[in-house]
């Protein structure tokens, strides 16, 4: 992720995104179909965000007037490339690291126990909500609830209205099951043993530093200093796009986690 922030050229950020996707699919052997299914939500959110950035809204005579802003295209391209790179890095983490390992690492980092418990409960409830939604759709289809457009809208409205009730009931059942097992307020998990963790950490750190160095040296300023690129204003545009990129990348990453966690929990 640090390399994505250091990349001041959209092509460098796109290269990092392609590299992380290749490592996830090829190195970690995540099925391509599963990877695409998980990535659809953040990519759709990113596309809508970039399209909204191409529209300029200005007040004119007391009313709001909107127009397309093609002059924002370079900044939007930089934002999209950097956010895509961050999303692929997050997908690599989500699809390759079990929740128990993340919890063990956070405990070693002295994270508050309340925060870890909330993380586990949210992780579990996402899977419960996805399962309840899938069961509801299956039941409605068995009763021909999606036979027509009008019936489909009515069935979907009924299903959405029942999701809050289902979540409340299942959360209550989860608390009752925990109390029946003498739950004392702290969730405990068995942590895996990593005998070669030092070498793995050194390898991961070296790879991360290498990517950050390559991303920093591949900036237009360094290439222009080496005589490999003509002067341009891309670096200034990239700096102006940093603020917008922060919110888009964070929201797209959250969407990726919400979609990926139920599948991983199942």
| Confidence (pLDDT) at 219 | 63
Instruction: Return all residues near 266 (Cβ < 8 A) that are at least 6 apart.
Output: 127, 130, 131
Task: Read off the pLDDT of residues 61-119 as tens digits, 9 standing for 90 and up.
Answer: 777 778 888 888 888 898 898 899 989 989 998 898 888 888 888 888 888 888 888 88
Phi, psi of 66 (to 5 degrees): -120, 150
CA distance 16 to 54: 24
DSSP string, 66-111: EEE-GGGHHHHHHHHHHHHHHHHHHHHHHHHS-HHHHHHHHHHTT-
**CA distances (Å), origin 213, targets 12, 16, 187, 217, 229:** 12, 12, 40, 6, 19
Phi, psi of 130 (to 5 degrees): -65, -40
| Confidence (pLDDT) at 249 | 47
Q: pTM of the entire structure?
A: 0.66
Phi, psi of 9 (to 5 degrees): -120, 135
- Write out residues in the chain with pLDDT < 70, as ranges: 1, 219-266
CA distance 127 to 253: 18
Token pair for 92: 């690599």
């Amino acid at each position: 992720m640090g390399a994505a922030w250091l990349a001041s050229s959209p092509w460098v950020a796109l290269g990092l995104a392609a590299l992380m996707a290749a490592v996830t699919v090829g190195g970690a052997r995540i099925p391509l179909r599963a990877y695409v299914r998980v990535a659809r939500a953040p990519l759709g959110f990113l596309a809508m965000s970039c399209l909204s950035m191409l529209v300029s809204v200005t007040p004119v005579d007391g009313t709001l007037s909107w127009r397309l802003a093609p002059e924002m295209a370079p900044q939007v391209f930089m934002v999209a490339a950097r956010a895509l790179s961050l999303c692929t890095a997050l997908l690599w983490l989500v699809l390759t690291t079990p929740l128990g390992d993340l919890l063990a690492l956070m405990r070693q980092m002295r994270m508050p126990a309340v925060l870890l418990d909330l993380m586990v409960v949210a992780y579990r409830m996402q899977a419960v909500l996805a399962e309840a939604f899938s069961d509801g759709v299956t039941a409605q289809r068995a009763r021909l609830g999606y036979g027509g457009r009008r019936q489909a809208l009515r069935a979907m409205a009924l299903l959405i209205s029942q999701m809050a009730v289902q979540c409340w009931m299942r959360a209550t059942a989860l608390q009752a099951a925990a109390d029946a097992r003498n739950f004392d307020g702290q969730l405990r998990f068995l942590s895996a043993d990593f005998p070669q963790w030092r070498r793995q950490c050194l390898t991961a750190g070296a790879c991360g530093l290498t990517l950050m160095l390559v991303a920093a040296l591949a900036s237009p300023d360094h290439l222009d200093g080496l005589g490999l690129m003509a002067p341009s204003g891309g670096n200034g545009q990239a700096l102006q796009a940093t603020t917008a990129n922060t919110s888009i990348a964070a929201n797209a990453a959250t969407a990726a986690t919400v979609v990926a966690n139920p599948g991983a929990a199942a």
